[in-house]
Structure 1
């Protein structure tokens, strides 16, 4: 991915809030000048041309950003942040280094959700360049493993008293969104889950509840936010996905729910791997394993080992990958039907087989001779078993299974088999809208390049090229 363009970009957030307030450029200029005068600030000379420049991307000098924030917050009746307006400044500490407090957790999710709902959905590849990696990502998250609930109640007028029925309602909604995501991908339902997350945040801000209900409510909010982050990731909105995951992790800390926290970290690990940062993915898995120690269920333990096997394979540590795969299988033997958390429903035996099958497919690229043949065979057997046993509503997973088999066939030099599986995947693109699927198709296109001199190889690449172009 390239760096974001250095040219100034139009300030869409500022334009949005001006429209919401019904403010013209001249009117905003007058209000900013008036507020400055009330505070003893002279010489601003704010006029219509200045506001036009801000909307085109120019950054006003201090103290003008603060004055703009105060004016628009007063006009909207909302506690806006600098980030909401696309301006520099103290944005309520909503970044990855937010303090692990209840107020900061609400502020972080709130400004993310508001900003996303007002912007058009886009799949701009430059967005991936905003994702934090390495030390910048991992160092601030280390505190999660030892974090404790803040316990402080956010400032605000008390609202209605809520109990466990409302919490159960949120959990049911979260389950429904997960089902939609599994069936159709994250593109179609992403805006709806973001709006629902904002509604839950309103409950946290304004309602009264007992300590037990509050803990359950924070846990439910973290889980719902994790789905919002996951759908954003699936839609190719990587920057907002990562920020949502981090904020969801803060909410999980307020719930003292290490299981949800570990789940969020594995989502983040999958994103890092998808973006080509397998070392970061392994670090996130290790943090989930450490932070969730003694609290993880057998399925969660198995899932984390399975992901470790896949990421170790990407790096080329085939022996370490095999070791982790064995531990994943051992842990899964302890799974008891009906005893797992709802957010772990997706990790069934087909999912374990598919994950380990892809680890073997990746490992095959790093070895030759009989070892390569063995990994290809194990990959084909595992992914085929996963596909045969998938529940009918897991359509996106089925698309990934077909892709996995296609890539496994290519690893074994079987172009015809790869072409057949690719056709099955392409047939599902109408019902499944997922940027992750099309990204993987692009990887398959590249992997088929050595076979481009054959008729089957050329046809395979042409089919992928046409299908991916149709989704852009």
Structure 2
């Protein structure tokens, strides 16, 4: 039985069938040979070759794969992308794939399909790639000037409906909860595997304008989650690429608020990577691009991300203005008046963001105030977020000289966060360890380090040891 189901589906759609209604291997071999790419390949293909392709064997040379694509494209009257053929083992990916903003929706589909394929294959050039600073600027500007072409009706063999959109959103919610509870590295590969199986057929499928717009919006949400999970797992170049393509999907779906939120998430990653000026600019671009929408809760979050970047830059006055604006806009919103995917941004989350800012500005008293407020009002549904703010609280106590209290809070945070698979969590531990260094002779520090020495949180976070 054939194992390359994608190739079987394409051949069937294109009418390469024999008299019994099964895939016609000889008929397809003739079409491949007669294609321009087939003639250029310099070899003759027969039914045996086709049988191997259907069995999952990947042609070794680009010319053969091009000939197969051309034979199918001529019959189907549309372009066939490499990922549609179902070949995986000979994957060759450009190191720049996904960095360019997709000006056409089809380009975004092809880029994400290629990214997902390379991600599953563990392509080191992508999984270990650093973020590209210029790509952040280019994507921000392309979205702001609304340069993307509008969606077409789709040309694939499948038709999509509202149930397909709902299924994609439901799966995204499921993975989002796993991410928040166990960290991005825990189920990232499972999400990538799911999207790899769903996206190409869904996003190329035919459907009404409304359904396809909703589908691309849902795809933007799912791709953004793949970006977040990759970022949390420490795959920053890969995460940046997913973010950029998610931005394109949201734009194709005419979901301006989601697109701005994705830009806001890119700002978050830039701050984590120490690119604070770029982070502040992307948060401002997100706000600028949604001014006419007037969604107070979303604007509050944009100001909070800008404040986070400005605090790291040490620009206290500008940070204070951004924090004030974040609070003002948050106070104007009515619960439930924003997008559903922003429901997590509540009083606790805002207080946590402000706690980060005051810690980074060297204001431990204010940081303690807001971090304590965040923990006291937290729902407990977001384990990783609770860990982050607990570590901010521990940092602030150390900065104020409360060594005993700082160590006690950190120990409690470690107990909560031990099950998290998150590179970001380890970065918080590194910052805490750096603050511990001046107090290394304290009995409290000695007791704390002895109690956590064998935890994953401690052992995987290795600055200069206190």
Whether the 8 Å CA contact 2:227–2:239 is kept in 1: the answer is yes
**Partner of residue 142, structure 2:** 143
1:440 matched to 2:428? The reply is: yes
Whether the 8 Å CA contact 2:267–2:279 is kept in 1: the answer is yes
Residue by residue over 1:48-81, the C-alpha shift from the partner in whole angstroms, topping out at 9 and shown as x without a partner, is: xxxxxxxxxxxxxxxx97447648979xx98437
**Partner of residue 131, structure 1:** 131
1:450 matched to 2:438? The reply is: yes
> Structure 2 CA distance, aligned partners of 1:292 and 1:354?
24
Deviation, 1:118, is 2.5
**Partner of residue 421, structure 1:** 409
**Partner of residue 326, structure 2:** 328
**Partner of residue 57, structure 2:** none
Residue by residue over 1:105-134, the C-alpha shift from the partner in whole angstroms, topping out at 9 and shown as x without a partner, is: 1011111111112228x9x9x96652111x
1:216 matched to 2:219? The reply is: no
Whether the 8 Å CA contact 2:156–2:201 is kept in 1: the answer is no
**Partner of residue 40, structure 2:** 39
Q: Please show how residues 232-381 of structure 1 align to structure 2 within 5 Å.
A: 232-295=230-293, 297-364=295-362, 375-381=363-369
Whether the 8 Å CA contact 1:448–1:461 is kept in 2: the answer is no
Whether the 8 Å CA contact 2:347–2:374 is kept in 1: the answer is yes
Q: Please show how residues 94-105 of structure 1 align to structure 2 within 5 Å.
A: 94-105=97-108
Residue by residue over 1:260-310, the C-alpha shift from the partner in whole angstroms, topping out at 9 and shown as x without a partner, is: 111111111111111111111111111111122222521111111112112
CA gap of 1:340–1:99, structure 2 versus 1, over 3 A, is closer
> Structure 2 CA distance, aligned partners of 1:212 and 1:377?
51
> Structure 2 CA distance, aligned partners of 1:69 and 1:97?
25
CA gap of 1:118–1:72, structure 2 versus 1, over 3 A, is farther
Q: Please show how residues 7-22 of structure 1 align to structure 2 within 5 Å.
A: none
Pick from 383, 388, 391: which aligns with 2:379? Answer: 391
CA gap of 1:99–1:448, structure 2 versus 1, over 3 A, is same
TM-score, normalised relative to structure 2: 0.77
CA gap of 1:295–1:397, structure 2 versus 1, over 3 A, is same
> Structure 2 CA distance, aligned partners of 1:258 and 1:465?
47
1:117 matched to 2:105? The reply is: no
> Structure 1 CA distance, aligned partners of 2:289 and 2:368?
34
Aligned residues: 400
> Structure 2 CA distance, aligned partners of 1:339 and 1:211?
26
Whether the 8 Å CA contact 1:449–1:457 is kept in 2: the answer is no
Deviation, 1:359, is 0.4
SS in 1 for 2:246: helix
Structure 2: gaps (5+ residues)? 1-35, 44-59, 74-79, 462-466
SS in 1 for 2:293: coil
Pick from 173, 176, 191: which aligns with 2:171? Answer: 173
Whether the 8 Å CA contact 2:98–2:112 is kept in 1: the answer is no
> Structure 2 CA distance, aligned partners of 1:275 and 1:184?
22
> Structure 2 CA distance, aligned partners of 1:174 and 1:99?
22
> Structure 2 CA distance, aligned partners of 1:139 and 1:218?
21
TM-score, normalised relative to structure 1: 0.76
SS in 2 for 1:188: helix
Deviation, 1:461, is 5.0
> Structure 2 CA distance, aligned partners of 1:282 and 1:128?
25
Which one is further off, 423-432 or 344-353?
A: 423-432
CA gap of 1:303–1:224, structure 2 versus 1, over 3 A, is same
> Structure 2 CA distance, aligned partners of 1:73 and 1:119?
25
> Structure 1 CA distance, aligned partners of 2:153 and 2:437?
56
Deviation, 1:163, is 2.2
Whether the 8 Å CA contact 1:236–1:436 is kept in 2: the answer is yes
Deviation, 1:396, is 0.9
Whether the 8 Å CA contact 1:65–1:88 is kept in 2: the answer is no
Which one is further off, 195-204 or 251-260?
A: 195-204
Q: Please show how residues 169-208 of structure 1 align to structure 2 within 5 Å.
A: 169-208=167-206
Whether the 8 Å CA contact 2:101–2:142 is kept in 1: the answer is no
**Partner of residue 14, structure 1:** none
> Structure 2 CA distance, aligned partners of 1:462 and 1:119?
37
**Partner of residue 80, structure 1:** 82
**Partner of residue 9, structure 1:** none
Whether the 8 Å CA contact 1:278–1:314 is kept in 2: the answer is yes
